Structure 1
Amino acid sequence: MKITALRTYRVEEFANVLWIHVETDAGITGLGETFYGAEAVEAHIHNTLAVRLVGQDPLNIELLHKEMVSLPNAQASTGVEYRAASAVDIALWDLFGKVCGQPVHTMLGGQSWDRMRTYNTCAGTRYVRTNKIRPVDTWNLDAAPSPYEDLDGFMNRAGELAEDLLENGISSMKIWPFDPAGIENKGQFITTEQMKTAVKPFELIRKAVGDKMDIMVEMHSLWNLPTAMEIARTLEQFNPRWFEDPIRMNSPQALAEFARSTHVWTCASETLGSRFAYKEYLDRDAAHVVMADLCWTGGLTEGRKIAAMADTYHRPFAPHDCIGPVGFIAAIHMSFSQPNTLIQESVRAFYKGWYRELVTEVPRIEGGYIYPMEGPGLGTELVPQFFERSDLTVRVSEAA
């Protein structure tokens, strides 16, 4: 079997998502995805990777992965090169599963879990539905009302939101009320009044539901180290589950200092690329929970190595999701296959909303748990009407 073409798709409405089909002479096609800078990733796939991939055996996944991430400037980052490699790699695993008639999690070694606990990242239905990627700009708080405007919920009625999540079996939530202050002050300081405003959702959650809800604190790498430590000290009274990406993920030593300053777990990081970057943080005891985004860090091939390496340090693994539906589903396959998976991120505003506009199947999520996908490969495809969209751009590289 040989790869005959790479075909990419992007649409204006979801400007940061790029999908790819890896086509073969056996008539089997693999589906992949990445997120952010879609047009730049598209160019790298067609201008740089296609000549290296078309004509190759798609089942030599490790070989092709090494080829993609060994190029100049594609070393331990989440830049264009790694995002492109991630999309292709996910598609190759989808194709592998289809060839064998098995779900991807089976191809990765089988199920370690019958069901997987999930937490709700409290985004809204139109969060990141824009070409901007700035934490506050993309909140879209003026969007049309829907039952799952959870970002507006945690900012304005956090207690009610926590009660609603619990009623639906979801006992973990992630919020980021410090972002407005971080953006306004460029992460250099936080005023007393800003601190009080950002702490209010935590007070309301604990007042409404007590300790029944785990609270993950997303800090979006916005803060300098002293201010991040100040925020952590203030929030310890609310017993959050973890602090995620409190500072820029470019200094293992600084993050280790943060981790030592608080009894709350430190989670890092969706922004890291390749297992080599993670090793630096693990060697420094800088991360208690290892988070990876498979659309950025090298796909399933690299993701399982990161999870396995975390296990050697006795650290749990927690895949990221605040991206597109294919990446979400790939992360779920990874979660089920790894014995040290702690929990899987999900956004109910996405899997109950715009994900369903794009793919044929979404995972079954009930009572705060995700259940494994059952079809071969990833178990989902782009919906037929996707290919009829007026805002669709298609680019193809195929054998001469």
Structure 2
Amino acid sequence: MSGPNTDYDPVEVAALQPEAVEAAREAALAAIAAATDLEALKQVRTDHAGDRSPLGLANREIGALPPQARKEAGQRVGQARGAVNQALAARQEVLQAEQDERILVEETVDVTLPTDRVPAGARHPLTTGAELIADIFVAMGWEVAEGPVIEAEWLNFDALNLGPDHPARTMQDTFWTEPADNHLVLRTHTSPVQARTMLTREPPIYVVCPGRVFRTDEYDATHSPVFHQVEGLAIDEGITMGHLKGTLDHFAQQMFGEESTTRFRPSYFPFTEPSAEVDLKCFVCNGVDSASCRTCRGEGWIEWGGCGVVNPRVLTACGVDAERYTGFAFGMGIDRTLMFRHGLEDLRALFEGDVRFTTAFGTEL
């Protein structure tokens, strides 16, 4: 008995007919061209190029054909699927470019516009206050000098005529670093900057020294173990107390208004002789009807700082010819000055980091 005739194709597969393959190809191309966005194109890819698409099912039927018929059917289906894949890739590129362009237009953010999503920051009033004070003296022709906050004992005390037995050297008044043999302290004032300046420069010297200082004070509404000072030093020939008074009057007027003035009360400081306490004319009552003024408490004046003529011993210790040169020095608390200037009642507001307090000052004073 003879076997089957394998030279002929007795199997009729409709999906592999040229007309069916061409129809599937044309339908796929039409769907691709009609896709208006990437999501629609994704669905077209599934419907017309996926495993269960007409062309995908036709490709699976090739295996049912006799060997001689498979080649022709495979080429027919392969060409159709290749055309569909090329069309999908081209349409993908076009739709992706359209989407990118649309996003650039629709989702553009104008970074120059103000926003309320993130509050605007503000510089701290201590920073802007110190810069304002420095600017006042730079406008007068002075220079700004700085120094380290960890200072040598000799510069912090001895060079400024504070002897070995001075009470400021005790642990109750000064922060000392360990070991004690290093003779280093957290500076108790910015006067060491003045000493450093005299040791490294020749007169005439006109410098202002703002900075952070440290003392073992209790932390309360009017005291802090860390606070800020500004000190000034003028060394030249013929310097007098009159120059000091005029300088401080100008400083006060720039900080508190044209009506401001100062007065001196005799005092004692080891590094100046003669020395004086500086009082500021009350900027609230101006000394008139002071009895009811809560700011000056009936005095008409407010204590502001200390000053005096530089002690000749200090000049000599720092290498300045005390026979030829004289000078004056002064020191005020920047924190205290800002409290006066802005009506602050509690010093701690400057140190507690509450953004609501800082924001009220804006970016400048």
TM-score of the aligned structures, taking structure 2 as reference length: 0.21
TM-score of the aligned structures, taking structure 1 as reference length: 0.20
Q: Which has the larger radius of gyration?
A: 2
